[in-house]
A and B are shown apart, each in its own frame.
Chain A
Amino acid sequence: QKEVEQDPGPLSVPEGAIVSLNCTYSNSAFQYFMWYRQYSRKGPELLMYTYSSGNKEDGRFTAQVDKSSKYISLFIRDSQPSDSATYLCAMDRGADGLTFGKGTHLIIQP
């Protein structure tokens, strides 16, 4: 079983829709959870950083962590064409580098 599972998509939704992106993980040692956005051939850009179960909101973005289910989500409200990118979930045990999911390719149709 892979440490972090993420559906690669592509996920295509109309502009203005609510987008839900998800990751599951198997390692209980992960304590910190992040969502990065990556445009083609660019470096990952941090969107959200959480370390506890529950919700965290920042503008149109909400990150949700459920440690009991080993499941994290990112919601994007009022999606825009500029949100089209690959979204990477990443996790940290606090001891070394981040473990990434494969990324979900998101397409927002104008």
Chain B
Amino acid sequence: EPEVTQTPSHQVTQMGQEVILRCVPISNHLYFYWYRQILGQKVEFLVSFYNNEISEKSEIFDDQFSVERPDGSNFTLKIRSTKLEDSAMYFCASNIGQLDTQYFGPGTRLTVL
């Protein structure tokens, strides 16, 4: 069964450093998403991406964040200058159509020291 994959599973970085989180969505999906979940809190929407551009973004997704689909398979989230409060699980999701089920990856745990 096809699934969303994410790398790395755990990323440790120093405050102020740039990080890139990688996702491979399900191959025939067209819509891609990033969410984050701070420990003990709810899953929060960051951004949606379709047709090589951002469709929607939340208030959390400020200028420190960017997304890219550099090739036909990868979808990345870049945080330019990490802050302590960026420590969280980051989940990638994808679906075929905007109203279809979103399938989530296993997440990348980001720890900012």
A: which residues have CB within 8 A of B?
Answer: 32, 34, 36, 41-46, 49, 88, 90, 92, 94-103
B-side contacts of A96, CB under 8 Å: 45, 48, 55-56, 58
| Central interface residue in A36, A43, A90, A103, by most chain B CB within 10 Å | A43
| A98 with B45, Cβ < 8 A, contacts A41-B89, A41-B109 known | yes
For this complex, into which size category does the number of interface residues on chain B fall?
20 to 34
Question: Of A32, A97, A102, which contacts B45 at CB under 8 A?
Answer: A97
A-side contacts of B58, CB under 8 Å: 96-97
Chain B 73-103 per-residue mask, 1 if CB under 8 angstroms from chain A, else 0? 0000000000000000101000000110111
Contact (Cβ within 8 A) B104 A43 = yes
Chain B 38-81 per-residue mask, 1 if CB under 8 angstroms from chain A, else 0? 00011111111000000110100000000000000000000000
Contact (Cβ within 8 A) A95 B42 = no
